[in-house]
Amino acid sequence: MLQRAITGFLFVLVLITAIYFGAYSTLFLFMIIVLLGIDEFYALVKKNKTVNPQNFQGVITGLTSFVLLAFAAQQIMEIKYTLYLIPLFFLTFIIELYRKKDHAFINIAYTLLGVFYVAFPFAMLYHLGFYQENQFTPTFSFQIIIGFFILLWSSDTGAYLAGRFFGKHKLFERISPKKTWEGSIGGGVLSLIAAYVISLFFHNIELKDWMILAIITVVGGGLGDLVESMHKRNLNVKDSGNLLPGHGGILDRFDGLFIAVPFIYAYLIVVSN
């Protein structure tokens, strides 16, 4: 329990500090997370003996995708240069021709899935650092990114406490036997309270938008957790990795983010237009 608490504290401290200090420290941290996350994804899917993804190609494609999209978001590079990602993605098919591995298209599919599942949500989250007053700007602000993590952690905390003390009705027993409807409601309530408090200090978006982001985070984060649980259950593993003592791996810590962020990004894109 102590090990879990220490790891959690250091994890939050590093994350918040990097985001607070600006665009480049956030970029560097997210690059490390993307690299470790994609590599962990491939190590996990290899537990299925029929799957043999292209680790090196996948990590390079994921990192390149994240960096190019991040530079475009930061407006230090024109968006047209992200088109270089197209041949990079199709290079995966060409490489598989020469690997002489079984189940070629399964390998290709999992290689590209690792990129889309990990790199793209983090690229979207990084772009949200440049969202202010209903539009994207060249100026970075930590408010939406840190605000999102506070909402996500509030949802997880509320769900844990409500589920522990009041949980009776199973939410999705086939995938995650411990999750309950009461826990989900508790996560929603605490996340909405957190959204109100955040709106008092972070003014990049209005209160109603923080409230909507809280709802998206609760639903998307819960679904992301279930998706990762489904993935691990299919492979008969408890954790996606052991990088974070007491917390599992990178995918375990960010599972809610992978589903929630694309929906938040889509919502704010619509609002901005």
What are the residue boundaries of the structural domains of the chain, listed by start?
A: 23-141, 142-273
| Per-residue confidence (pLDDT) for residue 2, from 0 to 100 | 66
Phi, psi of 241 (to 5 degrees): -170, -170
pLDDT digits (tens, 9 = 90+) for 172-226: 888 887 888 999 999 999 999 999 999 999 999 999 999 999 999 999 999 999 9
Q: What is the dihedral of CA 70, 75, 80, 82, to 10 degrees?
A: -10
Question: Which pLDDT does position 100 carry in this prediction?
Answer: 86
Q: What is the pTM of this model?
A: 0.93
Structure tokens at 171: 């939410």
Distance CA 238, CA 76 (A): 42
- Report the SS3 class of residue 140: coil
pLDDT at 163: 87
Q: What region, left, alpha or beta, does residue 25 occupy, with left being phi > 0 and alpha being psi -120 to 50 degrees?
A: alpha
Residues of the chain falling short of pLDDT 50: none
Model confidence pLDDT, tens digit, residues 248-264: 889 999 999 999 999 99
